[in-house]
Amino acid sequence: MNKQVSALEDYRLIEELSGGEYLADAGLFVWCRTAWDEQLQAGRSSILLKNLASGEEQMLTAGGTTETSPRFRPDGKSVSFLSNAEGGMQIWCTSLETGECRKITAVPGGVTSPLWSPDGRMMSFLSSPVKPPAPTYIDELYPAGTVKPVVIEDFGYKFDGAGFIQPGHTQLHTVDVETGEIICLTQGNWDALHPAWSPDGQELVYLSGQERGKEEALALDLFMVPARGGSSRRISSRDWAVSYPNPVNPVFTPDGKWVIMAFMDSSMVQDPGFSAGYPLCRLHRVAVDGSEDVDIFQTTEECFDCVAFPYFGGTAGCQEKMQVSEDGRFVYFISGWKGQCNIYRAAVYGEPKVELLSGGEQNYRGIGKPQNGRMLVARSDFSQLGNYFLMDVETGETGEPLTSANDFIKDRAISRPETMVFDTLDGRGKVQGWIIPPQNRAEGKKYPAVLYIHGGPHPFCPFALEYQYQCLAGRGFAVIYCNFRGSSSYGKEHLDLKLAYDGTAAYDCLQAVDEAVRRYEWIDRERIGVTGGSYGGYLTTYLAEKTERFRACAAQRAVYSELMQYASSDMQGSSAGYKNFEEFMVNCLKNSVVAYAEDIHVPFLILHGEEDYRCPVEGAHQMFTALKECHPDLPVEMILWPRLNHDIPRDIREKTEYLEYLIRWFEKYL
């Protein structure tokens, strides 16, 4: 008896878990659950608290519809969380004894990243002070309710997902939970990121680029600042601490003398624009007095990096991705390795030594503070979309999940991805990929397949379920995906960005398709389509131009013109290194897929958001027009979402409408 297939309507059932925290002494576990609320006709995030002994579960709420980031007060008697109940995202606190819920902050513009001080008397948080710019004649000219023009005088005037705004910078603050008194700890034209309290509660560490020049936009250092206010002092300066796109939190050793943090491998940082690609990362132990900065990382065959950059598979995540052991001798971290996101531990002192703690075909997304020999972890894999577990810090073993999110998939004919690894044609490496057979596959029947190319190109497809792929499988498609050259978690050479753009990655994808066809005779080799978003959309278009392999294509939020990207993307372009601007322009065009539009001879779908400020929608317009002019009779469609940025829609109704268009295209043309 076949189970029901996955369908886009299932997105209304999917629960995403985040911000889990475990308090061993009280046997309590708290987390945030985000899911579609039928009544609200919108997504809703709620805080859930579970007593692990009794199994009793209750919801903590301030009455808002978006409530996230729960944190136990160190004495275990209260839980703080962020809620939009009143005046934006503010910190609220519920007493577990009395049930009383009290508002702690009322900061204009809202707050993020709330953390308790070790003694539970204060909390730290980040907020962007909404400082209205000095009024100009424009503010006086336009009446209320009219749309004012935007004055632009420098780079960085628009941000994907935010718009044409002048964002304030995130500043670090502390609040006295009793009195409500707020102290602003940082100030300036820079962001304070990823704060953490020192064990004695006297100081906080945070990341910022305040002492770096403008040309080193992604260079961050560690700073210490007194919790009650005072000047910051820099404690690291050599290498660049890691934030975008793999944020990791710094952690203190229990004696408070050292901060452990991930830093970019400086030998791989060639220029501030990362034109060679994103570097690998290494753990450092940095003295809080700034006197020492020791690289404690060890690259081994089993561990290339101290961060993980999975492309999907996260319906559960902890607050943190790095923890120090209770005795201070080890630091636990998550590293991407050959598609896996495993937990490792590194020795804090002595000879660098990195050991695998928990490995396998799984995707760890967060690590909580070790307590009494166990630590909370968030994990997804091929059998479940994401849940929380408690892991033994010595053995790496986990027991039953603490949560049972997305149980509905037990009633779906989920198709387990089958792993494949093949040697590349150029002999320089191997590529790992997966095939998801169609759900409820019938013997003797042939099926079409869709190659789904991940974006980035640095993220990697992990050992986790992506529900979009399951929906495709539910509609009778096999899904093929792989970690082509340019993807991370396979070491330095595999990660080389050049390979993602010189055709190497394209060959890897073609090989993946050939490999899939070779292994499974039920794949109809004449009916294979290709799609992908962002870099994946670019490579989709590239493959459509360079090969005859695919019967239908769909490019999502892609880069079609490098020349247009130069001026219209929120990621600043550079024309440096060319004899003159004309040569720069022609070179951009040579490397742009729009310049070869006439080479596409198969049905082509373009999906794009009009508020995509990463890959501007004008590129889609140009590609669409080029295709229509070159091949007026070819099925070519462009679908534009007026309010969509560089993403697929978040609203469940809009998301399902978007994915329906995508799937229908392949149903029609494959």
Partner 1 sequence: MPWTGCAGLLKNRAAGLKTKEEAGESMGKKFTAQTIEQVRYMSYPAAHPDGHEAVYVCSMHRKSDGKYQSWLVRTDAVTGRREELTDRECENAFLPRYSGDGKHLAYLSDRTGEKQLWILDLEDGKRRRLTSLRRGADWYDMRRDREEFLIQAGCYQEEIENGTWDKEMSSEERKAWEARKDRAPVVIDKPFCKDNSAYGLLDGRVDRIVKVFPDGKMELFGGISFKARYPVYSRDGQKAAFYGFPYKGVWEPDPEVFICAGDGSGLKQLTRKGRPVTEDPPCFNMDGSAVIYSSYYEGKEGGCEERLYQVSAEDGQVTALMGDVEETKSHGINGAPCSRTVYGTETPCYQLNKEGSEIWYRASCEGYERVFALSLDGTQKIREVTEFPMSVHSFCLPANGRMFFTAGDYTTITELHVMDMETKKYTRLTDENLWLKEYDLSVPRLIWVPTADKKTRIQVWVMAPANMEEGKKYPAILDVHGGPECSYTVDFWHEFQAIAADGMAVVYCNPRGSLGYGVEFSRDEYSWGEGACQDLLGAIEAAAELGFIDSERVGITGGSYGGMMTNKMIAKTDRFAAAVTQRCLINTATSYGCGDMGFESRRLKEGESLQMMKVLERRARSCLMGQIDSISTPLLILHGYKDYRCTFEQAEQIFIGMKERNPQVPVRMVMFPEENHDITREGNLYNQICHLQELINWFCKYLKEGGDADE
Question: Any contact of residue 164 with partner 1 (CB under 8 A)?
Answer: yes
Q: Which is nearer to partner 1, 381 or 611 (CB)?
A: 611
Residues 599-618 that bind partner 1 (CB under 8 A): 616, 618
Compute the distance between CA of residue 440 and CA of residue 427 in angstroms, rounded to an integer. Answer: 37
Question: Any contact of residue 643 with partner 1 (CB under 8 A)?
Answer: yes
Burial of 491 (0-12, 13-18, 19+ CB in 10 A): middle
User: What phi and psi values does residue 566 have, to the nearest 5 degrees?
Assistant: -50, -45
Question: Any contact of residue 571 with partner 1 (CB under 8 A)?
Answer: no
Smallest gap from Cβ 543 to partner 1, in A, equals 17
**DSSP bridge pairs for 583:** none
Question: Any contact of residue 152 with partner 1 (CB under 8 A)?
Answer: yes
- Specify the pairing of strand 221-226 against strand 233-234: antiparallel
Q: Which is nearer to partner 1, 344 or 669 (CB)?
A: 669
**How many angstroms separate the first and last alpha carbons of the chain?**
28
Q: ∠493-498-502 over CA atoms, to 5°? A: 120
Question: Any contact of residue 667 with partner 1 (CB under 8 A)?
Answer: no
Smallest gap from Cβ 579 to partner 1, in A, equals 11
Which 8-state DSSP code applies to residue 38?
Answer: T
Question: Any contact of residue 142 with partner 1 (CB under 8 A)?
Answer: yes
Q: Which is nearer to partner 1, 164 or 349 (CB)?
A: 164
Binding mask 515-554 for partner 1 (x = CB under 8 A): ----------------------------------------
**Residue of the chain from 96, 346, 461, 626 that contacts partner 1 (CB under 8 A):** 626
Q: Which is nearer to partner 1, 85 or 595 (CB)?
A: 595
Q: Give the number of other Cβ atoms within 10 Å of residue 505's Cβ.
A: 26
The HSE-up count of residue 226 (CA atoms within 13 Å, CB side) is 4
Smallest gap from Cβ 565 to partner 1, in A, equals 10
Smallest gap from Cβ 615 to partner 1, in A, equals 12
Question: Any contact of residue 639 with partner 1 (CB under 8 A)?
Answer: yes
Question: Any contact of residue 580 with partner 1 (CB under 8 A)?
Answer: yes
Give the three-state DSSP class for 625: helix
Q: Give the DSSP H/E element, type plus range, for residue 591.
A: none
Q: Which is nearer to partner 1, 426 or 629 (CB)?
A: 629
**DSSP bridge pairs for 81:** 92
Question: Any contact of residue 568 with partner 1 (CB under 8 A)?
Answer: yes
Q: Are 23 and 51 in contact (CB under 8 A)?
A: no
Q: Give the DSSP H/E element, type plus range, for residue 464.
A: none
Question: Any contact of residue 309 with partner 1 (CB under 8 A)?
Answer: no
Q: ∠130-136-142 over CA atoms, to 5°? A: 95
Q: Which is nearer to partner 1, 193 or 605 (CB)?
A: 605
Q: How many residues bind partner 1 (CB under 8 A)?
A: 64
Compute the distance between CA of residue 360 and CA of residue 377 in angstroms, rounded to an integer. Answer: 15
Question: Any contact of residue 573 with partner 1 (CB under 8 A)?
Answer: yes
Question: Any contact of residue 577 with partner 1 (CB under 8 A)?
Answer: no
- Cis bond leading into 272, ω under 30°? no
Smallest gap from Cβ 641 to partner 1, in A, equals 5
Q: Which is nearer to partner 1, 53 or 581 (CB)?
A: 581
Question: Any contact of residue 154 with partner 1 (CB under 8 A)?
Answer: yes
Compute the distance between CA of residue 477 and CA of residue 471 in angstroms, rounded to an integer. Answer: 9
Question: Any contact of residue 261 with partner 1 (CB under 8 A)?
Answer: no
Smallest gap from Cβ 629 to partner 1, in A, equals 4
CB contact set of 169 (below 8 Å; sequence gap of 6+): 128, 188, 189, 190, 191, 192
Compute the distance between CA of residue 176 and CA of residue 450 in angstroms, rounded to an integer. Answer: 55
Contact residues: partner 1, CB under 8 A: 137-138, 141-143, 145-147, 149-155, 164, 561, 563-564, 566-568, 572-575, 580-582, 585-586, 589-590, 592, 594-598, 616, 618, 621-626, 628-630, 632, 635-643, 654, 657-658, 661
